[in-house]
Amino acid sequence: MTQPDNSHPDAGSDTVGSVHELAVLSRIFPLLPAATAATVGPGDDAAVMAAPDGRFVVTTDMMVHGPDFRFAWSTGHDLGWKAAASNLADVAAMGARPTGLVVAIAATRDTPVTLLEDIARGLRDACAELAPGCGVVGGDLSVSDTFTLAITAFGDLEGRAPVLRSGARPGDTLALCGDAGVSATGLKLLFSDAVTHDGRPDHVRAQRLRQDHPRAVGAQLAPRPPIASGVAAALAGATAMLDVSDGLALDARRIASASGVAIALNRASLGDDPDTALRGGEDHALLATFPPGRALPEGFRVIGSVTDGDGVTVDGEPVAGVLGWDPYEGWNGGTG
């Protein structure tokens, strides 16, 4: 893995170190999406969110420059979009409708204010396309030697029970909505072809790759997970579900472990590159189990089944070890 490079290709004249926080916020706030569930939005010490169900889903995720993204490859808009999408997918995987985001950014002092504006636009556009009505209800700005973006997302169960990882039962159908391995293919392309001769990420090469391989590179830099399908799966009676962020084999194992069952995957259903589909993450597809014979919601396709036992198999062969992403070890058998 190459070393982090905190330079910003889209540098502007004003940086966060040269203007006051209030000036930065005054430029960001008008760009952020409003949340329909917020009764008090940004501007006070805390937001107030309506919770008509009496419960709410909450999740959080952090993106750190270096291990999680590279400015040499990602635009500010990409970063805002990806941060929103990854959190929205976690809410969707519980069978909930996303309602609000809280965004905290620790930026280097030389970070252009225009970059933060582009991140805000990415957040806005991702919410508008993937989860209409969800918006940014607050957050925080700080300074750090390493650019870090953290998001907390909220969701409404709308009277339904949450869909947990622990509900799969033998005989259930295993189905996937979204891609598997496409984002990992994009990451592999970036690491192999979007670096300079000394191994540093290269912005020009990354943009050329994006033009040549829009689906794969786009899926890595700005994924489009099927957020609305989380509610559809819950309404269809999904017994277990999660967001595939760390690799299909690893995340299927999480359902198997939580439910006390085995997951049997069908290699032929995993596309043209089953190995990458098994190992690669960050597509943020929804992996769900459904009662046998149940009609699947639109977009879901059968990729296997739930059986007695434990662990994960592919065409009857056990998947040995842990394949996928570990934040402390990187890609295990993967693409990075």
Known binding residue 60? Answer is yes
Q: What is the Cα–Cα distance from 285 to 179, expressed in whole angstroms?
A: 6
pLDDT at residue 24, rounded to an integer: 86
Outline which parts of the chain fall under CATH 3.30.1330.10.
Answer: 21-156
Q: 145 a known binding residue?
A: no
CATH of domain 165-178+225-330: 3.90.650.10
Q: For residue 165, say whether it is annotated as part of any ligand binding site.
A: yes
pLDDT of residue 328 exceeding 90, the answer is: no
Report the distance separating Cα 152 and Cα 62, nearest Å. Answer: 9
In the chain, the amino acid numbered 119 is: I
**In the prediction, which pLDDT does 334 show?**
38
Asked whether residue 335 is marked as a ligand-binding residue, the answer is: no
Residue of 247, 269, 257 whose CA lies nearest to 312: 257
Alpha-carbon distance of 59 to 121, in angstroms, equals: 22
Interatomic CA distance for residues 297 and 85, integer angstroms: 21
CATH number listed for the domain at residues 21-156 = 3.30.1330.10
Burial class (CB within 10 angstroms; exposed 0-12, middle 13-18, buried 19+) of 271: middle
Please state, as a whole number, how many other Cβ atoms lie within 10 Å of the Cβ of residue 26. Answer: 11
Q: What is the pLDDT of residue 162?
A: 97
User: Across residues 12-39, what is the average pLDDT?
Assistant: 84
- For residue 22, count CB atoms less than 10 angstroms from its CB and return exposed for 0-12, middle for 13-18, buried for 19 or more: exposed
What is the C-alpha separation between 253 and 313, in angstroms, rounded?
Answer: 9
Does residue 37 contact residue 98 with C-beta atoms inside 8 Å? no
Q: Is 172 annotated as a binding residue?
A: no
Question: Is 61 marked within a binding site?
Answer: yes
How many C-alpha atoms does 174 have within 13 Å on its Cβ side? Answer: 30
Give the mean pLDDT of 7-26.
74
Identify the residue whose tokens are 């994006």.
210
Q: Is 90 flagged in the annotation as binding?
A: yes
Is 110 known as a binding-site position? Answer: no
Lowest mean pLDDT among 67-76, 157-166, 232-241, 287-296: 67-76
Lowest-pLDDT choice from 20-29, 59-68, 135-144: 20-29
pLDDT surpassing 90 at residue 200: no
142 is in an annotated binding site: no
Annotation-wise, does 81 bind a ligand?
no
- Confirm whether residue 325 is marked as ligand binding: yes
Which residues does residue 262 pair with via DSSP β-bridges, in sequence order? 307, 311
User: Token digits for 253?
Assistant: 């194992």
Tell me what the pLDDT averaged over the chain comes to: 90
Of 115, 77, 129, 83, nearest to 102 (Cα)? 83
- State mean pLDDT over 196-214: 89
| Per-residue pLDDT at 132 | 97
Q: What pTM did the predictor assign? A: 0.89
Question: For the chain, where do the domains classified as CATH 3.90.650.10 start and end?
Answer: 165-178+225-330
Tell me: is residue 68 an annotated ligand-binding position: yes
Query: Hey, how many other C-beta atoms are within 10 angstroms of the C-beta on 6?
Result: 17
Residue in 127, 85, 92 with CA at minimum distance from that of residue 297: 92
Provide the 10 A C-beta neighbour count for residue 45: 6
If you search the block for the tokens 């997951």, which residue do you land on? 263
Provide the pLDDT confidence category of residue 5 given band limits of 50, 70 and 90.
Answer: low
45: confidence class by pLDDT, cuts 50, 70, 90: confident
